[in-house]
Amino acid sequence: MRFEIDEEHFTVTNLLILLISWSNTCYLLVLFLRSWLPVLISTLLIITGLVLTVAMVIITIYVSIRWIKHHKLGLWVLIGIVILFIISWSFEATVKKIFFEQQVYEYDQVY
């Protein structure tokens, strides 16, 4: 198995995988070595993980926007976002209603 990275074929996907592995490594080091690491090193590892995560999010959003523009899918993405918003809004309303009915039922059982 070869682990060499060919610079000509290094893609954005490879970069995102690399960023997520480094950020998760920082978080895992803090999680598992919390009792042995000094506070400054733990803080630096957490900040490094956060910076890598933010970079990953920015790159993903940028590449997604470029991909949507390239394939002329703006209207479909907008329709998808509206549909997801409506579905999530209805789920939230349903959960609130169930929670409210449970609270009323528990109140009636007590009194």
pTM: 0.68
Task: Please state, in angstroms and rounded to a whole number, the distance separating the CA atoms of residues 81 and 72.
Answer: 16
Q: Are 48 and 81 in contact (CB under 8 A)?
A: no
DSSP 36: T
| Residue 67, pLDDT score | 87
Average pLDDT over residues 27-46: 94
Residue where the block lists tokens 């480094």: 22
Q: Is residue 16 scored above 60 in pLDDT?
A: yes
Average pLDDT over residues 15-39: 93
